[in-house]
Structure 1
Amino acid sequence: MNGFNELIHQPLRLKIMAALDQLFEDPKERLDFSQLKEITGATDGNLGAHIAALEKAGYVDIEKRFVGKRPNTALRMTEAGAAAYAAHVAILREIIGDRSS
């Protein structure tokens, strides 16, 4: 199936991409690791591993920074990630018969 993406299809990675997709239009917006953890319900280690897989594929951009004196990890979806996510969502809609897209 053209557009079906095994990397994105994994449930936690799909949740990550869906959350990041909500912010994609504003290039200044990023989602903090803690916010993403709350949205997905994942543990630190599990979330970190899946984010690393998405980063390796070029789908997310990770920014390590400090907020005050505390370290902070913030993410945003890349152009390649947005294209891959959109293609994956389109094929899922086709599979389930959603013609509203």
Structure 2
Amino acid sequence: MSVALDEVLNAPVRLQIAAILARADEAEFAVIREIVNVSDSVLSKHLSTLAEAGYVSITKAPRDGRQRTWAVLTSKGRRAFRKHVAGLQEMISAADRKFGGFVSG
């Protein structure tokens, strides 16, 4: 079995971020932080890694009198996320076949 997983998305926090953004048009930094339950600095580092890979676009804009940070999954990021999830599903299916359904239930 040869499954190609995306090294950028392989980190659990980055995979969670991509999953959040895949379901939303955009998400505010504080909302993402609450969902993935990490510190500001950890989230910032993961978002920077995703942005450097071209998977996430980061924008800053004032809202409610404060500067807010917003993240959007780019089309490149959406493709990478779909491919990564397909690879994970392939791994699960292969394990399921090998162990006779043990993995899924």
TM bucket, shorter chain? 0.7 to 0.9
For structure 2, the residue ranges without an aligned partner over 5 or more in a row are: 95-105
In 2: Cα distance, 1:93 partner to 1:2 partner: 10
**Paired residue total:** 93
Describe the superposition over 1:16-72 as per-residue Cα deviations: whole angstroms up to 9, x where unpaired.
00100111xxxxx31000000011001000000000000000000111000032000
> Displacement of 1:6 after TM fit?
1.1
The percentage of aligned residue pairs carrying the same residue is 33
- Could you tell me which residue of structure 1 aligns to residue 7 of structure 2? 6
Contact 1:5-1:88 within 8 A present in 2 as well: yes
Q: Structure 1 counterpart of 2:5, which letter? A: F
Which is greater in Rg?
2
Per-residue CA distance 1:51-99 (angstroms, 9 max, x = gap): 000000000011100003200000110000000000000000000008x
CA RMSD of aligned residues (A): 1.3
Q: For residue 66 of structure 1, what is the amino acid of its counterpart? A: P
* Equivalent AA in structure 1 for residue 12 of structure 2: P
Matches within 5 A, 1:28-39: 29-39=25-35
- Which among 47, 60, 78 is matched to residue 43 of structure 2? 47
Contact kept, 8 Å, 2:3 with 2:90, in 1: the verdict is no
Corresponding letter in the other structure for 2:56: V
Distance 2:21 2:10 in 1: 15
> Runs ≥4 in structure 1, deviation > 3 angstroms?
none
**1:52-63 → structure 2 map (5 Å cutoff):** 52-63=48-59
Q: Please name the residue that 1:82 is paired with.
A: 78
CA distance in 2, matches of 1:2, 1:66: 43
